[in-house]
Amino acid sequence: MIKLKDYEPKIYDEIFGYWQRILDILSNRIVKKTDRQGAYIGVIINSIRSITLYHGFDLLVDYLNIIFNVKDWCCEEGLRELIHYTNKGNNKLLL
């Protein structure tokens, strides 16, 4: 009998590539302004802490810019919205 084993990436490039593909999918749906847009934005915002813990903030910058542009947020309003999204889901974004 073959034992199942979780895949464990050998290098961070694999992880960053995986994150990037997921963020691409989400951002494409955010730009389309579907009725699930808020949920897709929430997924990205709620992932900020996890991704930045592994030095992935540079990866997030472009996707945060997409969100800010689509939602027409200025910096102050965007920060307020980021905090709102994280507090709404009982997740605390460390700023």
Annotate 9-32 with b (16+ C-beta within 10 A) or e (fewer): eeeeeeebeebeeebeebbebbee
What's the predicted TM-score (pTM) here?
Answer: 0.72
- pLDDT, one tens digit per residue, over 30-69 is 999 889 998 998 888 888 878 888 888 888 889 989 988 8
How many domains is the chain built from?
Answer: 1
Calculate mean pLDDT across residues 57-84: 81
The closest of 85, 91, 26, 32 to 59, measured between CA atoms, is: 26
Calculate mean pLDDT across residues 9-21: 88
- For residue 32, is it within any domain? yes
- For residue 6, is it within any domain? no
Report how far residue 59's alpha carbon sits from residue 63's, in angstroms, rounded to the nearest whole number: 8
Report how far residue 26's alpha carbon sits from residue 3's, in angstroms, rounded to the nearest whole number: 33
- For residue 29, is it within any domain? yes
- pLDDT, one tens digit per residue, over 16-34 is 899 999 999 999 999 998 8
Q: Which domain holds residue 24?
A: 14-88
